[in-house]
Amino acid sequence: MSLNSYGHVFRVTTWGESHGPALGATVDGCPPGVRLAEADIQTWLDKRKPGQNKYTTQRREADEVEILSGVFEGRTTGTPIQLMIRNTDQRSKDYGDIAEKFRPGHADITYWQKYGIRDYRGGGRSSARETAARVAAGGVARAALAHVAPDVRITGYMVAMGDKDIDRARFDWDEIGRNPFWIPDAGSVELWADYLDALRKSGSSVGAMIEVTVRGCPPGIGAPVYGKLDTDLAAAMMSINAVKGVEIGEGMAAARLRGEENADEISMGPDGPVYSSNHSGGILGGISTGQDIVVRFAVKPTSSILTPRKTITKAGEAAEIITKGRHDPCVGIRAVPVAEAMAAAVVLDHILLDRAQTGGVRGPIG
């Protein structure tokens, strides 16, 4: 019942605080025989790493992962994999002010009320720094997917930031890795850069919308009724810091449609069923259809801004707070690799689960 864990069979528990000695992930349930080296995980951590460009926090962390267990001679052994990342740039002095005051929009006040104690340095456990552990665990999930379901490809990208939306007519998978916003739309990069520059200079911040697409997932993955693939994806995304909404396929817009508009008609293709559209986001009744799985979520704007905000102290006195630390004008950017990692873990988990449930038997069509 660990509340810091996710996954049924591929089970990840993250641990660590922003300014403690280290953070990491305990990964249990990874299949044996998966090729895995620290470099395989480091690749993904480097995508998330802060301080890479002017659009993300200037905190400098090496974010070097160590594998402490579960791998022998370059392969997983089926035993728990412990991933550790040392915190190197802790600069506690930056955070002195928040020991007494609660930052609006942060979990400072709720942690205090719940636990009667909190590690206030950099937000402690509630810091977005925790997501480094998720990305590391996601690296293991990716390696395992390459082993058990090599056709699966998981790609995250931003689709909106404040009032800017990507132009889906220009959607280009190859563009995603080329720009600092992970957007699939080369035509928007400059516009977004200017917008974010202005925000950063004014000490403000903005929200964002991220989409993750899972290509190549076979049909039949997932489960009714509570362990649905979409339920687990939604929970995974909602568990990421600052996320306030999650959509599958048509998402919230489905509320506006009529039955005729929303139905994905089915026909028979050479390799199995083919759908006329993908309003379902690749999932029906909690189980994958074989189409692309599409999940989208909204990240709220960073609560740490330079405009003073009203708050109270632990003593209950009125106060103002400006968060001067090193922060992201748009935390949504760094949520992209985090969301990919979570999606990888969920999809792998359900593929392993399906082996237990059905042994891979499939109802034949045609």
**What radius of gyration do the chain's Cα atoms show?**
21
304 is in an annotated binding site: yes
Min separation Cβ 286 and its own copies, Å:
7
B/e letters for 61-88, b = 16+ CB within 10 Å, e = fewer, are: bebebebeebbeeebbeeeebbbbbbbe
Cβ neighbours around 116 below 10 Å, total? 7
By beta-carbon proximity to its own copies, the closer residue of 174 and 356 is 356
B/e letters for 253-289, b = 16+ CB within 10 Å, e = fewer, are: eeeeeeeeeeebeeeeeeeeeebeebbbbbbbebbbb
By beta-carbon proximity to its own copies, the closer residue of 174 and 272 is 272
Min separation Cβ 60 and its own copies, Å:
21
126 is in an annotated binding site: yes
Closest CA to 100 of 328, 298, 318, 338: 318
φ, ψ dihedrals at 12, nearest 5°:
-115, 130
Contacts with 320 (C-beta within 8 Å, 6 or more apart), sequence order: 308, 309, 310, 311
296 is in an annotated binding site: no
- State whether residue 122 is helix, strand or coil: helix
By beta-carbon proximity to its own copies, the closer residue of 169 and 259 is 259
Min separation Cβ 171 and its own copies, Å:
18
Closest CA to 106 of 91, 93, 86, 121: 121
215 is in an annotated binding site: no
134 is in an annotated binding site: no
Distance between CA atoms of 303 and 355, rounded to whole angstroms?
43
CA dist 310 → 243, 288, 313, 319, 322 (Å): 23, 47, 10, 6, 9
Distance between CA atoms of 135 and 193, rounded to whole angstroms?
25
By beta-carbon proximity to its own copies, the closer residue of 115 and 173 is 115
Min separation Cβ 78 and its own copies, Å:
4
By beta-carbon proximity to its own copies, the closer residue of 169 and 365 is 365
256 is in an annotated binding site: no
Min separation Cβ 175 and its own copies, Å:
20
301 is in an annotated binding site: yes
179 is in an annotated binding site: no
By beta-carbon proximity to its own copies, the closer residue of 176 and 283 is 283
Min separation Cβ 185 and its own copies, Å:
16
Known binding residues: 48, 54, 125-127, 241-242, 285, 300-304, 326
Known binding residues for FMN: 125-127, 241-242, 285, 300-304, 326
Known binding residues for NADP(+): 48, 54
